């Protein structure tokens, strides 16, 4: 009897549990469906309607939770909706002012993109999320399944994000009234620029790296960004213990649990890492994809090619014919800067085995300890030489990655374009600062032009392609080829390039406050390393002796040990977490809810690494062999005179007079406070953005004149140099901090009547080429890059013959 009764009770409990789970599942489906419907509705709303709807819902929720008694939860919910109402009402007019002039900064009416538009779009995304969440709360606040803690934490996080976005909008207004008409970059004096940046970097950023991580990007990207952020903060812990490679990857699998379940902790730690760790940390983190195991997994999902060979070009000078007079030649010297002559590594990728690619001369250049993939048994039939050749320069902030990191999408390019591709493994900063990378890329480009037959190409059409820092090198290599008088490539495809390496703020660069892939402090450290600033060397001497392959072998041997230690650390972290929760003396009063994201960030102690004073740049000796001032002379010099600041009169960022007048009217509409020059007058009275609790940011203000060198910042090149560029195709991201680099560079070329196209993809982050296989949106963006390259490689149609006279 008791057994039967127990069975019935168990069945009843099971049925009740299944009913609850079914109800929760239906609730989640309704929530997702409602969110999609709300997002579609919000997308069609204008800014004022969206703000009014949000304020109405906030007031309704305030009235409801204010009537729920004196409880802590109701008080915090009421307070967060009061904050939402205040920030939305303050933000709407400022966004309206930016929208009224944003069109003046577009390249053309067909390309509506610039940093002002991106800021407005990002703020709309945040308002849209708060509007959807406010509707959800208003509809479900009486339900017994309403998750009060989760919704409160999310509302507080997005309120913090909205507050910081409002600060960014006010900074954008400051840029609008301070810059020259039509200029997107901050052009104040150096003291004002430094004050602006120091003020900007004190803003709190952790709210953008926790629950709000990647809210501005397409939803398919957000899980990837969350994984990256968890891996980054876990990697940071192991980096402090001088662990590298596979040992970090193994241990991070176990120690990342607490960061995955605590978004506020993850955001605060992410902010600390981005502000305080040096360029060596980012080099190590970005180079994780260079590990053989990870790169092999990535290549398994990429196209299969016949040829993938790492070649080592000997540091031997050779002659190149001049374009103006092929009977004359110019000597192409090997790279010399900083470390003296040395070989240049390139990777040859070809979908088919073409004539010349299996020659003895090319085989003698194969790097012995490099990856080699060449199918010769059974001997395949050789394809004829392609008419085209693609020369690729990889990204990585000038400090990290090699062609191996970019090999998966390069293999797809080789298949789709039917052309061999060489990717240059140029030397990286800070060990090899400017102009070493430029020298090596130019040397490899000239070698490829001269020996294209060995690479499986006739060289009739040559395209330079690169992303981020590689896009910068595309422009500078082409400028140097023109200066030497040798063949200039037939075109350039640059994806989200960096064309301005000065510390000048711009509307799009304000987005670096929330960008998890390009924080401003990280950008400054990479540029500082590339310019040759002194950096602290935290690397272990034993690691230097081992080298990359030695580290991989050592880390592989330590893998099993790290799994055991990592599992123990993972278990201990959860035990410690539960132990802290059980200690009553750890907090003076018990809180029924999790603290807000701002409170969690402010409570984080300062990191153990301490802070260093800002480092000053030192100018290196960057002279090359030869000395000439005339473009017809084959030798070229990067002397101190060349590296000096460009003449301001040669750089014209101005819009046509009618646009300048329209913008002037908009500037006059701003209040006297907005037109003031002081940085302290940026915010209106009563508004106080949240400040970072991580202490002074280690962000060098790389103000050395070297960053004005046109071979480092091609946007600052004089008109005479830019006129020598071939047709340029730029693919940029609307939400990329580097967007304004692309817009302004394309505008300068357009004003010089140079052929240029600018395609701007929506809702994707910087670096989407390395994410090409992640989702539909990244695949489409990568296909757009391929189409731009195909335009370069396709010979122009011959003009139709004139009709014969009758």
Q: Using alpha carbons, select from 241, 265, 267 the residue that is nearest to residue 252.
A: 241
Run of H or E residues at 595 = none
Q: Which helix (H) or strand (E) holds 492?
A: strand 491-495
Nearest to 514 by CA among 152, 113, 162: 162
**Cα 404 to Cα 552: distance, rounded to the nearest angstrom:** 15
* Residues in the chain, overall count: 806
**Tokens at 798, concatenated:** 């011959």
Given the residues 468, 524, 646, 713, select the one marked as catalytic: 468
Per the rule left: phi > 0, alpha: psi between -120 and 50, beta: everything else, 683 is beta
Alpha carbon 713 to its chain centroid, in Å, reads 18
Q: Could you tell me the CA-to-CA distances from 569 to 226, 257, 575, 804 in Å, in that order?
A: 22, 10, 10, 85
Q: What values do phi and psi take at 691, rounded to 5?
A: -100, 150
Torsion of CA 525, 531, 532, 535, to 10 degrees: -10
Strand pairing category for 728-733 and 756-761:
parallel
**Strand residue runs (E) in 445-486:** 457-467
The whole-angstrom separation of Cα 115 and Cα 736 is 9
Cα 254 from Cα 573, distance rounded (Å): 9
Q: Quick one: three-class SS letters along 745-786?
A: HHHHHHHCCCCEEEEEECCCCCCHHHHCCCCHHHHHHHHHHH
Name the 3-class secondary structure at 382. Answer: coil
Contact residues for 105 (Cβ-Cβ < 8 A; gap 6+): 114, 115, 116, 182, 184, 743
> Are 156 and 597 contacting, i.e. CB atoms less than 8 angstroms apart?
yes
Separation of alpha carbons 305 and 307, rounded Å: 6
Partner residues linked to 457 by β-bridges = 386
DSSP 3-state of 70: coil
Of the chain, the end-to-end C-alpha distance in Å amounts to 114
Map residue 665 onto helix, strand or coil: helix
Query: Measured between alpha carbons, how far is residue 349 from residues 307, 371, 379, 408, 437 in Å?
Result: 5, 12, 18, 11, 21
Whether the Cβ atoms of residue 782 and residue 768 lie closer than 8 Å to each other? yes
Helices (H) and strands (E) in the chain, counts: 26, 11
The Cα–Cα gap between 517 and 540 comes to: 26
For 589, counting Cβ atoms within 10 Å of its Cβ (0-12 exposed, 13-18 middle, 19+ buried), the class is exposed
Judge whether 743 and 523 are in contact, CB under 8 Å. Answer: no
Phi, psi at 236, each rounded to 5° = -60, -40
Q: Does 373 participate in catalysis according to the annotation?
A: no
Please give the positions annotated as active site: 468
């Amino acid at each position: 009897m008791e057994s039967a009764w127990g069975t019935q009770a168990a069945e009843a409990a099971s049925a009740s549990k299944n009913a609850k789970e079914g109800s929760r599942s239906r609730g989640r489906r309704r929530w997702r469906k409602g969110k999609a419907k709300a997002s579609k509705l919000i997308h069609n709303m204008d800014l004022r309607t969206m703000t009014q709807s949000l304020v109405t819902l906030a007031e309704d929720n305030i009235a409801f939770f204010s009537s729920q008694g004196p409880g802590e939860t109701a008080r915090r919910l009421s307070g967060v909706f009061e904050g939402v109402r205040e920030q939305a009402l303050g933000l709407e007019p400022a966004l309206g002012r930016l929208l009224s002039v944003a069109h003046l900064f577009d390249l053309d009416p067909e390309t509506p993109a610039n940093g002002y538009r991106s800021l407005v779009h990002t703020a709309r995304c945040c308002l849209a999320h708060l509007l959807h969440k406010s509707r959800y709360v208003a509809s479900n606040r009486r339900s017994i399944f309403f998750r009060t803690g989760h919704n409160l934490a999310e509302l507080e996080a997005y309120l913090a994000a909205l507050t910081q976005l409002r600060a960014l909008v006010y900074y954008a207004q400051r840029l609008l009234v301070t810059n020259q008409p039509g200029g997107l970059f901050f052009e104040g004096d150096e003291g004002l620029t430094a004050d602006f940046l120091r003020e900007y970097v004190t803003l709190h950023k952790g709210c953008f790296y926790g629950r709000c991580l990647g809210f501005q990007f397409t939803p398919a990207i957000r899980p990837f960004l969350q994984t990256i952020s968890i891996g980054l903060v876990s990697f940071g812990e192991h980096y402090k213990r001088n662990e590298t490679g596979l040992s970090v990857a193994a241990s991070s699998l176990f120690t990342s649990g607490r960061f995955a379940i605590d978004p506020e902790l993850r955001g605060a730690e992410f902010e600390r890492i981005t502000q305080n760790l040096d360029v060596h940390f980012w080099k190590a983190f970005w180079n994780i994809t260079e590990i053989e195991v990870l790169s092999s997994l990535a290549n398994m999902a990429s196209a299969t090619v016949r040829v993938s060979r790492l070649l080592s070009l000997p540091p031997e000078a050779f002659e190149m014919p001049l374009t103006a007079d092929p009977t004359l030649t110019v000597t192409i010297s090997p790279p010399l800067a900083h470390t003296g002559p040395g070989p240049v590594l390139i990777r040859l990728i070809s979908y088919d085995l073409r004539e010349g690619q299996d020659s003895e001369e090319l085989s003698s250049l194969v790097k012995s300890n490099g990856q080699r993939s060449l199918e010769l048994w059974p001997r395949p039939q050789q394809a004829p030489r392609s008419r085209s050749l693609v020369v690729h320069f990889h990204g990585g902030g000038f400090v990290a990655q090699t062609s191996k990191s970019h090999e998966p999408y390069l293999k797809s390019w080789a298949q789709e374009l039917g052309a061999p591709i060489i990717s240059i493994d140029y030397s990286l900063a800070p060990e090899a600062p400017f102009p070493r990378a430029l020298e090596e890329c130019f040397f490899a480009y000239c070698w490829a032009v001269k020996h294209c037959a060995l690479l499986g190409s006739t060289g009739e059409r040559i395209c330079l392609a690169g992303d981020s820092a590689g896009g910068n090198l595309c422009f500078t290599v082409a400028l140097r080829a023109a200066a030497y008088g040798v063949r200039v490539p037939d075109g350039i495809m640059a994806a989200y390039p960096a064309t301005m390496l000065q510390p000048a703020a711009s509307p799009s660069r304000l987005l670096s406050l929330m960008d998890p892939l390009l924080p401003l402090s990280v950008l400054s450290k990479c540029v500082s390393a590339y310019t040759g600033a002194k950096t602290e060397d935290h690397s272990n001497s034993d690691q230097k002796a081992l080298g990359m392959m030695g580290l991989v072998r050592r880390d592989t041997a330590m893998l099993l040990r790290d799994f055991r230690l990592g599992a123990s650390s993972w278990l201990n972290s959860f035990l410690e977490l539960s132990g802290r929760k059980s200690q009553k003396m750890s907090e003076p009063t018990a809180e029924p809810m999790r603290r807000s994201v701002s409170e969690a960030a402010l409570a984080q102690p300062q990191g153990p690494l301490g802070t260093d004073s800002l480092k000053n740049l030192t100018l290196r000796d960057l002279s090359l062999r030869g000395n000439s001032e005339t473009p017809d002379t084959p030798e070229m010099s990067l002397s101190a005179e060349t590296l000096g600041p460009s003449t301001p009169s040669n750089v014209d960022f101005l819009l046509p007079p009618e646009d300048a007048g329209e913008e002037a009217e908009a500037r006059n509409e701003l209040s006297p406070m907005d037109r003031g020059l002081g940085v302290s007058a940026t915010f209106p009275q009563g508004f106080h953005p949240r400040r970072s609790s991580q202490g002074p940011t280690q962000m060098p203000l790389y103000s050395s004149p070297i960053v004005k060198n046109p071979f480092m910042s091609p946007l600052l090149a004089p008109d005479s140099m830019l006129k020598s560029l071939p047709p340029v195709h730029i693919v940029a991201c609307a939400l990329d901090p580097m967007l304004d680099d692309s817009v302004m560079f394309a505008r300068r070329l357009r004003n010089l009547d140079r052929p240029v196209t600018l395609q701007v993809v929506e809702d994707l982050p910087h670096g989407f080429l390395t994410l090409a296989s992640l989702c539909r949106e990244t695949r489409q963006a990568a296909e757009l890059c391929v189409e731009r390259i195909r335009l370069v490689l396709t010979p122009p149609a011959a003009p139709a013959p004139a009709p014969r006279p009758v």
